[in-house]
Amino acid sequence: MALQERLDKFKKQQEKCQTTLSSIAASKAAASQKSAAHGSANGRNAPPAVKFSNDTERLQHINSIRKAPVGAQMKRVIDLLLETRQALTPEQINQACYVDIKANKDVFENLRKNPKVNYDGLRFSYKSKYGLKDKTELLQLIRKYPEGLAVIDLKDAYPTVMEDLQALKAAGQIWLLSNFDSQEDIAYPNDPKLHIKVDDDLKQLFRGIELPRDMIDIEKDLQKNGMKPATNTAKRRSAAQIQGISSKPKPKKKKSEINKRTKLTNAHLPELFQNLNNS
What does the DSSP assignment read for 227-256?
Answer: ---S--HHHHHHHHHHTT--SSPPPPPPPP
3-class state of residue 80 by DSSP: helix
- CATH for the stretch 60-126: 1.10.10
When mean pLDDT is compared across 112-116, 216-220, 265-269, the lowest value belongs to 265-269
Separation CA 89–CA 86 (nearest Å): 10
Cβ–Cβ under 8 Å, residues 266 and 272? yes
Does 90 score more than 90 pLDDT? yes
pLDDT value at residue 279: 46
Which part of the chain is CATH 1.10.10? Answer: 60-126, 135-189
Other Cβ atoms closer than 10 A to 125: 15
Q: Which comes out higher in pLDDT, residue 213 or 44?
A: 213
pLDDT value at residue 149: 92
What average pLDDT does range 127-152 have in this prediction?
Answer: 92
Q: Name the DSSP letter for residue 31.
A: H
Q: Which comes out higher in pLDDT, residue 89 or 238?
A: 89
Cβ–Cβ under 8 Å, residues 111 and 76? no
Separation CA 20–CA 28 (nearest Å): 13
R_g of the chain, CA atoms, integer Å: 44
Q: Which residues contact 22 (CB under 8 A, 6 or more apart)?
A: none
Confidence (pTM): 0.48
Separation CA 215–CA 8 (nearest Å): 122
pLDDT value at residue 164: 95
Cβ–Cβ under 8 Å, residues 176 and 186? yes
Burial of 77 (0-12, 13-18, 19+ CB in 10 A): buried
What are the pLDDT digits (tens) for 94-117? 999 999 999 999 999 999 999 999
> For residue 176, which of 154, 197, 199 has the smallest C-alpha distance?
154
Q: Which range scores top for mean pLDDT: 136-150, 248-262, 264-278?
A: 136-150
Pick the CATH number of 135-189 from 1.10.10, 2.60.120, 1.10.287, 1.10.3470: 1.10.10
Would you place residue 183 in the very low, low, confident or very high pLDDT band (cuts 50, 70, 90)?
Answer: low
